[in-house]
Structure 1
Amino acid sequence: MNLRTIYQIEAIPIIRNFIFSICEFYGANEKEKNELTLAVEEAAEHIIENFPSDEKELFEVKVKIKKDKQLIQVILKNKGIPIDEKNIPQYTPENPENSIDGLKFFLIKKLTDNFEFINCGNDGWQTILDKKISNFNIPRTKKSYIESNNKEKSKFNISVAIPDDSYKITKLAYHTYRYTYTKTSFYYPEILKEHLEERNIISFVAKNEEDEVIAHSALIRSPECREIAEAGALMTHPTYRHSTALIRIAKKLYNYALQKDNNIVILESNLVTTHTGSQRLTKHFKFCPLALKLSVHEKAKFINIKEQTANQRESLLYSISLTQKPKTESVLYVPKEHQIIIKNLIQHSGLPALVKKEYNKHLKRKTEFLIKKDNRAMLTTIIIKKFGIHWQKELKNIIKDLCIKNFKTIHLKIFTDNPLPWNIDESLLNLKFFFSGICLRTISNFTLLYTYLNNQNIDFNEINLFENKAIELKNYVQQYYNLVDLI
């Protein structure tokens, strides 16, 4: 809990009421409330009196509740005149007239269980006051209907969401991830409502008896090809996390995609690798891995799920599942180094495709680039549609500019429709790009995926995978990741 106010004596009553209310809320008796409030008042008065009058900084009062120690800690943050800790005036009751300057500090020490100063360098100073509460108590908050009903006993129904469900879905996104989920349209009810109306997103929801949305998944149609839909946006209210809601939604979603009238030929998924929960779910629906998208964004926070602390960003497993076989056979031109694994991945997925390793000796004058920047995720995707004679130099300049702007990850996607330049893989490795798999663009067109990491190291042991083919792909990508260090 924080309070920010001005450096004026007139602000002391605001601080006093703030501290008194917190003490009362956590069960402090009259003596404890008055003692801590008076101690903070004395400390705040000293800070305000010694703050330069020409400064316009705000004065911050922060309160921490330490349940294990049953105390209230008050932190007064300020950027006033530095404190000379070695020469703080000392008050002696035997000689009050000659030690009056130390009276404030004497009182604060008597009124609290701990009183100290912390030098925070450029961030100024902190004055810390701790007060133990004899009858420490955290009031119980009123539970919502969802939390107060047993998840196994509560009934819920699965249905396709209607546009008017958009706010309920947004609310569920908050309960599942707070504000860390990367698909931001799920935080804007009006935008989500529009997507639902236009069938760009087909949401499947579980609703309880109070008509609250307690679980969700969606088919998100690709803007490049409506016959491809991403299966994702998995959300469950923490109270229902161990119920059957999500698996029932997944079955409903998959059955919807199998119906030819809905015109979905391929399902794709971008599965988190912090845990294997989503991977285990999609395994039931014949998803096959094609690529490992490394360091895509910061990790989402799953409410009420304990995870191992990890320093690196989230990597995603890109997988697909055929709901019906494409009518035409795709032709892919790929580097000779990766022909075998690409053939294996495509064969495993069931896609009809012919893999070739022809090379283009007649490049265009200029390379056709498409650059997509995601500033929030610090991720850039560079798409090469066609190669020009100076593609390496052009790409190098783009990378340099992105690194200066502190983009953490660069994904390079290369169209496979036409023969590629000679020794393309070696050239990309010299630019510190390494092969990471293949992705679909349409139901019959692919892109190669390469990754560039800006001052990042990947611990592949933190990438948790469930299925054998996915583990084989990870090991393969890691081999080429390791080659970058040798350049």
Structure 2
Amino acid sequence: MEIHIKLPANEKVIQPSIDFVYRWSIECGLSEEEAAEFATAFDELITDIVLFAYPERGEFSITLKDFLSRLEIIVYELGEPFDPERHRYSAKKALSEGDFEGAGFEVIKKLSDNFIFLYKGREGKEFRIVKNIKHPHITHIYSEKELKKEPKKAVSYQISPVTENDAEDIAKLIYRSYGYTYPKEDMYYPDRIIKALKEGKKFGVIVRTDRREAVGYFAVIISTDSNIGEVGEVVVSPDHRGKGIMKMMMKALIDMVKAKGLLGLFGEAVTVHTISQKVNAKYGFKSTALIVGFFPFAKYKGFKHGQQRISVVIDFLPLVERKEVSLYIPQKYKNLIKEIYKNLGITVRNIPVKKIHLKEKSFFKVNINYQFETAVIVIFSYGKDFEDRIRNKLMSFEKKGLKGVYIDLPLDKPFTKKAVQILRKYGFFFAGVMPLFHKERDFLRMQKIYQHIDFKYINTFSDMAQKLKKFVKRDAKEVGVL
């Protein structure tokens, strides 16, 4: 959930804003002490902005983000230029000279779990304060012996919708099946699972044996910016694989999704093995993209694979019929994109570009996943500043040490044909099509990676996924990545 607030740079807004952040923090899961620390850090930041950033009237904006594992406050302002690196706090100067310059930022760092400053030139300054929510890990609730105990073989299995009461069993099931290697860390924290279910961020099914022991779990995560869902969390207990549990869960999930009126489902099927891809294919999912190095390296029990970042195949299941779409398809990728759509049962009409009218500024959204060390940029509209802003973003990402950057380009905008040429100059290569992924619109994904990926460890199942693998590898070589 996100809350957006725009405020005047006036001293009268400071205390009400601090009070709101304190109450919001408690509501989102912080203790009273942690909420007080977070609110104090916020107090230091906006007081500095109100008192020193604007010599005259001005305004600043605040975004509050509530994640399962952390809270973030992002403050944007267009006040006077300021470089915190030139105003570092010195305890020695404070004691000997009474010089407390930079002390406010030092307080913010001590009271938060992460404090990030970004100077964006003409776009102003961005401050990001992060506070982690301390939930108990499943290994703090149960002993290692209890967690590793495998349910006995079953005579029969029962499937039911997931409820908040299933959270601990799901976390135990994840740990038993993956150890510490499951890429979605929130699944080891029962409280975070409960929170996601309460807030309607996901729904799913759980499979139990005739002894009521949990052996299967499968959930759909609802997209935050489009009416689609991701079959994004799935696990079957090791000794109960090969019993048809995955298929049972998939069928039940698809029925639930249709009842909720979603337009489509997608899966990020890891390429360490082809099991998930095979299940997806059985239920009508079609491969549309190969995302290289999307997740950090994780060891999957029972599978031999190279020690490199994990790639995923995007499999998509349309739940509404679309017979034809009109898109601006880049010439270099025209044939493959048309084939991807044909595989989805959709005919593509490639719109010729006559004239392009660009606004001054591009409009896009950036999502940085610090856990996965990746960034996804979604372009909604193009401006004359497109190349400059992408170049600046890449410089910023490299400083942060990100391992992969992925850019979604709208296929209903004519400048996408030109944007592909620009991005290839910066080492981006083809990933595939992301159908209905943002605002119910189709996007072309381009990707750039900063670590070597050996394609021989990327396993694909469907004919289309195999074509994508060959094409993506060739395109990566052409831009000098491999």
What is the deviation of 1:254? Answer: 2.7
5 Å matches for 1:37-56? none
**Residue of 433, 439, 445 corresponding to 2:441:** 445
- Per the alignment, residue 223 of structure 1 pairs with 224
> The residue matched to 1:164 in structure 2 has which SS?
helix
Aligned to 1:458: 453
Q: Are residues 473 and 255 of structure 1, via their aligned partners in 2, closer, same or farther at CA, if it must alter by over 3 Å?
A: same
Task: Tell me the equivalent position of 1:170.
Answer: 171
Q: Which residue of 2 aligns with 1:288?
A: 286
Between 1:207-216 and 1:344-353, the stretch displaced more is 344-353
Asked if the contact 2:329/2:417 (under 8 Å) is kept, the reply is: no
Counterpart in 1 of 2:467? 472
* Distance in structure 2 (CA, Å) of the matches to 1:144 and 1:370: 40
- Kindly provide the CA deviation profile for residues 404-428 of structure 1, in whole angstroms up to 9, marking residues without a partner as x: 2211111111122321166433222
Q: Kindly indicate whether residue 233 of structure 2 is the aligned counterpart of residue 233 of structure 1.
A: yes
1:371-412 Cα deviation digits (max 9, x unpaired): 111111110112222222232222112112211221111111
TM-score, structure 2 normalization: 0.65
Alignment partners' CA distance in 1, 2:412 and 2:168: 42
For residues 295-334 of structure 1, the aligned pairs below 5 Å read: 295-303=293-301, 305-308=302-305, 310-326=306-322, 330-334=325-329
For 2:346 and 2:220, locate their aligned partners in 1 and report how far apart those are by CA, in whole Å: 20
CA distance in 1, matches of 2:160, 2:372: 32
The one-letter amino acid of 1:271's match is: A
CA contact (8 A) 2:231 2:266 kept: yes
CA contact (8 A) 1:432 1:452 kept: yes
Q: Aligned residue for 2:184?
A: 183
Partner of 2:337: 342
Give yes or no for the alignment of 1:147 onto 2:150: yes
Once superposed, what is the RMSD of the aligned Cα atoms? 2.5
Amino acid at match of 2:441: N
Distance in 1 separating the partners of 2:229 and 2:348: 20
Q: Is the 8 A contact 1:322 1:350 kept in 2?
A: no
Letter of the 1:365 counterpart? E
- Shift of residue 179, structure 1, vs aligned partner: 2.7
Q: Using the alignment, how far apart are the partners of 1:369 and 1:255 within structure 2?
A: 34
Aligned residues: 338
SS in 2 for 1:283: helix
**Paired residue for 1:23?**
none
Residues 311 and 359 of structure 1, relative CA distance in 2, 3 Å threshold: farther
Q: If the length of structure 1 is used for normalisation, what is the TM-score?
A: 0.64
Residues 11-42 of structure 1: per-residue CA shift (max 9 Å, x gap)? xxxxxxxxxxxxxxxxxxxxxxxxxxxxxxxx
1:336-415 matches, cutoff 5 A:
336-351=331-346, 354-358=349-353, 361-415=356-410
Tell me the amino acid that sits aligned with residue 323 of structure 1: L
Alpha-carbon spacing, 1:422–1:178, altered in 2? closer, same or farther (3 Å): closer
Q: Distance in 2 between matches of 1:367 and 1:143?
A: 53
Deviation at 1:184, TM superposition (A): 3.2
Cα 1:415/1:162, change in 2 over 3 Å: same
Distance in 1 between the 2:478 and 2:262 partners? 39
What code does the residue aligned with 2:203 have?
I
Deviations along 1:232-289, one digit per CA (max 9) or x if unpaired, are: 31101122123332222222223333x4x32122111110001111111111111111
Q: Match of 1:250?
A: 250
Identity value in percent: 25
Match of 1:272 in 2: 270
CA distance in 1, matches of 2:344, 2:417: 28
* The structure with more radius of gyration: 1
Note the alpha carbon deviations across 1:277-303, whole angstroms, 9 max, x for none. 111111111111111111111233334
**Which residue identity does 2:406 align to in structure 1?**
H
- Judged with a 3 Å threshold, the aligned counterparts in structure 2 of structure 1 residues 143 and 411 are, in CA distance, closer, same or farther, namely closer
Q: Deviations over 1:411-465 (max 9, x none)?
A: 11112232116643322211111121111325841111111112x2222121100
User: Given that residues 361 and 422 in structure 1 are in contact (C-alpha distance below 8 angstroms), is that contact kept between their aligned partners in structure 2?
Assistant: no
**Offset at residue 484 of structure 1 (A):** 1.3
Amino acid at match of 1:307: K
Gaps of 5+ in 1: 1-140
Structure 1 distance, partners of 2:190, 2:372, is 22
Query: How far apart are residue 307 of structure 1 and its match?
Result: 1.6
Give, in whole Å, the separation in 2 of the partners of 1:342 and 1:355: 10
SS at match of 2:389: helix
CA 221–411 in structure 1, closer or farther in 2 if over 3 Å, else same: same
Change (3 A) 1:268 1:357: farther
